[in-house]
């Protein structure tokens, strides 16, 4: 285990200048140049100590090799690198490729899980997959139709497969799993189909289900017992997962866990967010709708809940709370605090005490108007009465739009700069709530939405946020929504991609553009970096537009249909003119 003292030692060993006020709290940060989990470490920093590629030489990056996956849908996964092998997971049909890095990415083997074709019909926002995790000689990932599979990393042979989701109910799985204490943690997708959200733990060796905890329902189903001690009074009480809903509504209430999971080995807690309540029409679900649109801290051994915080009680705008949780030890008001930093979809950057769930600060990182502020005494957002949605009424100019200020695409943190690099969007929307009926396996939304560019007219942003000063250090404006993840390195370089196909490197301290390369399709993947078998540093990213933001391209939707893709098409009606479908891995390196 590593606390902040070990993190300081780790930084020193990597030749970095440790910060007195901001340290990583990561128990699994490989310093050998590998990339074994989507976020690189349990603290979800997406930071690499490799520094061969630096601000001064990154402009020399060249393509080392490419690999065509043959699947032209949204490529959102982070490649894994273990030893001399790279592992790449595709969107549906969720093929796993193993590439030999000692032979310029030559294919070693591929595994084809052959998920049920019907799963494509319950994927709300493209048939994406967000990646795999490596554990004990196996590559473990999820398939769209609700399976978790473990594949032998050397041979490509299946070790085990466990069915967790039920597509007949509208369930799918798009998230990347995480292995904690020999347990594979998996969450479901399908909030727009009236499913009931859960997080499950499987035995990593056998695939046996160990526990499954829900986001709605009685305390026993949610894992709430004597050790559950939420910080705010609004989250205390018996069976709030039932009582904060209309009768029986919690059974189809959403709260899926399709985002990111972090782990603190010192506190022995896993952290993950729960998505929007269902349906979007708030009039059909009066109450706080617990335990949706919030964050759980759980004991990984048995799944029992330790605390919960709700970012958006009675969510009005589809502000899912599935975003990344960066576990950082920050010096706040002269005291070193174990914090959880969260750029949230509702437009605020939260700094929380990760032991208790107390909100230490919550500051807007976009120009929003749906929430006026966050009351630190109660922890509750103060909704703007002028922008509150209600059935049968069109509410115009709600900012941010339904994807929130940022969607699934994860931020990165550099202990060298102390900054969080947030890839996000700048969209507003018009909203009309309409009555909807639940039919298993079909959309359960109840809202008509039209999105468009937010203040300033640009649709994408990358913000370098100082979580201690609680202010942006620099901002980059992009024409299109930024839907890729971010990567930070010890070379003081930050990488991200754009939806029109540019893969960019910017100065981590100033935001100045240092290099860019035009790929064959929009970049919505998660860039990674690694040390190759030859000892040199490489950077890799998948190119392939899609996801919710790119649905107009991969779904070949009509740009005149303003409400298509749950309203996103109106915001990206020009995307077909700027990019095309793709599915290619790009790997870059300096000349050597």
| pLDDT in 10s for each residue of the chain, 592 residues | 333 233 332 332 233 333 333 444 444 344 579 999 999 999 999 999 999 999 999 999 999 999 999 999 999 999 999 999 999 999 999 999 999 999 999 999 999 999 999 999 998 889 999 999 999 999 999 999 999 999 999 999 999 999 999 999 999 999 999 999 999 999 999 999 999 999 999 999 999 999 999 999 999 999 999 999 999 999 999 999 999 999 999 999 999 999 999 999 999 999 999 999 999 999 999 999 999 999 999 999 999 999 999 999 999 999 999 999 999 999 999 999 999 999 999 999 999 999 999 999 999 999 999 999 999 999 999 999 999 999 999 999 999 999 999 999 999 999 999 999 999 999 999 999 999 999 999 999 999 999 999 999 999 999 999 999 999 999 999 999 999 999 999 999 999 999 999 999 999 999 999 999 999 999 999 999 999 999 999 999 999 999 999 999 999 999 999 999 999 999 999 999 999 999 999 999 999 8
329 CA to centre of own chain:
21
pLDDT of residue 471: 98
Spatial contact of 347 and 404, defined as CB atoms under 8 Å apart:
yes
* Residue 168 three-state SS: helix
Which of 64, 235, 318, 407 is an active site residue?
318
Spatial contact of 307 and 353, defined as CB atoms under 8 Å apart:
no
Question: Which DSSP letter does residue 184 get?
Answer: E
Which of 142, 188, 276, 289 is an active site residue?
276
pLDDT of residue 124: 82
- Which distant-in-sequence residues (6+ apart) come within 8 Å of 359 by Cβ? 309, 350, 351, 352, 374, 376, 379
- Angstrom CA distances, 272 to 211, 226, 235, 254, 367, stand at 16, 20, 17, 15, 26
Spatial contact of 305 and 372, defined as CB atoms under 8 Å apart:
no
Question: Which DSSP letter does residue 94 get?
Answer: T
Closest CA to 81 of 412, 413, 540: 540
Which of 34, 64, 126, 192 is an active site residue?
192
Determine the length of the chain: 592
Residue 284 CA to residue 434 CA, distance in Å, equals 9
**Domain locations in the chain?**
4-589
Question: CA Rg, the chain, in Å?
Answer: 22
86 CA to centre of own chain:
21
Residue 192 known to be catalytic: yes
**Position of tokens 């919550």?**
362
Phi, psi of 251 (to 5 degrees): -70, -20
Question: From start to end of 195-268, where are the E strands?
Answer: 198-203, 209-214, 261-264
Phi, psi of 219 (to 5 degrees): -55, -40
**Angular region, 83: left φ>0, alpha ψ -120 to 50, beta rest:** left
pLDDT of residue 467: 98
CATH classification code of 4-589: 2.140.10.10
Closest CA to 527 of 508, 504, 546, 549: 504
Buried b (16+ CB within 10 A) or exposed e, 567-583: bbbbbbbebeebbebbb
Query: Model pTM?
Result: 0.95
pLDDT of residue 443: 95
For the chain, percent helix, then strand, then coil, each to nearest 5? 10, 35, 55
Spatial contact of 278 and 252, defined as CB atoms under 8 Å apart:
yes
What is the maximal distance between C-alpha atoms in the chain?
A: 66
| Helices then strands, each counted (H, E), the chain | 4, 39
């Amino acid at each position: 285990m590593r606390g902040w003292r070990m993190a300081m030692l780790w930084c020193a060993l990597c030749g970095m200048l440790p910060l007195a006020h901001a340290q990583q709290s990561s128990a699994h940060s490989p310093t050998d140049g590998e990339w074994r989990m989507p976020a690189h470490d349990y603290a979800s920093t997406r930071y690499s100590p490799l520094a061969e590629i630096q601000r001064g030489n990154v402009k020399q990056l060249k393509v080392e090799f490419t690999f065509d996956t043959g699947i032209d849908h949204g490529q959102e996964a982070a490649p894994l690198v273990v030893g001399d092998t790279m592992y790449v997971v595709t969107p549906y049909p969720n093929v796993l490729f193993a590439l030999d890095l000692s032979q310029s990415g030559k294919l070693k083997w591929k595994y084809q899980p052959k998920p049920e074709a019907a799963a494509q019909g319950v994927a709300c926002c493209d048939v994406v997959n967000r990646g795999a995790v490596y554990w004990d000689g196996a590559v473990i990932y999820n398939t769209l139709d609700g399976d978790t599979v473990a594949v032998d990393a050397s041979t490509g042979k299946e070790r085990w497969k466990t069915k967790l989701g039920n597509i007949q109910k509208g369930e799918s799985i798009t998230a990347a799993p995480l292995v904690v204490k020999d347990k594979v943690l998996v969450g479901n997708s399908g909030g727009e189909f009236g499913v009931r959200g859960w997080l499950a733990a499987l035995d990593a060796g056998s695939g046996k289900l160990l526990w499954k905890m829900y986001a709605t329902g009685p305390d026993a189903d949610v894992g709430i017992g004597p050790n559950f001690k939420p910080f705010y009074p609004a989250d205390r009480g018996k069976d709030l997962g039932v009582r904060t809903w209309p009768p029986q509504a919690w059974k189809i209430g959403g709260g899926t866990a399709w985002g990111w999971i972090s782990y603190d080995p010192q506190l022995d807690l896993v952290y993950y967010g729960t998505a929007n309540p269902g349906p979007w029409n708030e009039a059909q679900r009066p109450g706080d709708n617990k335990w949706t649109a919030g964050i759980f801290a759980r004991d990984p051994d048995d799944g029992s809940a330790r605390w919960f915080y709700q970012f958006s009680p009675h969510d009005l705008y589809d502000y899912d709370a599935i975003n990344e949780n960066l576990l950082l030890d920050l010096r706040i008001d002269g005291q070193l605090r174990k914090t959880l930093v969260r750029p949230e979809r509702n437009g605020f950057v939260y700094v929380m005490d990760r032991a208790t769930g107390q909100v230490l600060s919550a500051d807007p990182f976009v120009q929003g108007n749906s929430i006026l502020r966050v009351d630190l005494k109660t922890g509750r957002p103060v909704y703007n009465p002028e922008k509150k949605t209600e059935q049968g009424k069109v509410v115009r100019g709600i900012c941010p739009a339904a994807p929130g200020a940022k969607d699934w695409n994860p931020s990165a943190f550099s202990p060298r700069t102390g900054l969080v690099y947030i890839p996000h969007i700048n969209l507003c929307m018009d909203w009309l709530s309409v009555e909807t009926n639940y039919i298993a396996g079909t959309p359960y939304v109840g809202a008509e939405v039209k999105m468009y560019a937010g203040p300033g007219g640009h649709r994408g942003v990358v913000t370098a946020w100082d979580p201690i000063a609680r202010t942006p250090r620099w901002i980059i404006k992009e024409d299109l929504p930024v839907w890729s993840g971010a990567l930070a390195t010890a070379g003081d370089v930050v990488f991200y991609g754009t939806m029109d196909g540019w893969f960019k490197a910017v100065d981590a301290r100033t935001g100045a553009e240092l290099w860019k390369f035009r790929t064959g399709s929009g970049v919505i993947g998660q860039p990674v970096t690694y040390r190759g078998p030859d000892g040199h540093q490489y950077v890799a990213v998948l190119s392939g537009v899609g996801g919710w933001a790119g649905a107009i391209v991969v779904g070949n939707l009509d740009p005149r249909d303003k409400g298509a893709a749950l309203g996103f098409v109106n915001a990206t009606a020009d995307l077909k003119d700027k990019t095309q479908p793709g599915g290619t891995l790009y790997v870059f390196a300096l000349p050597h």
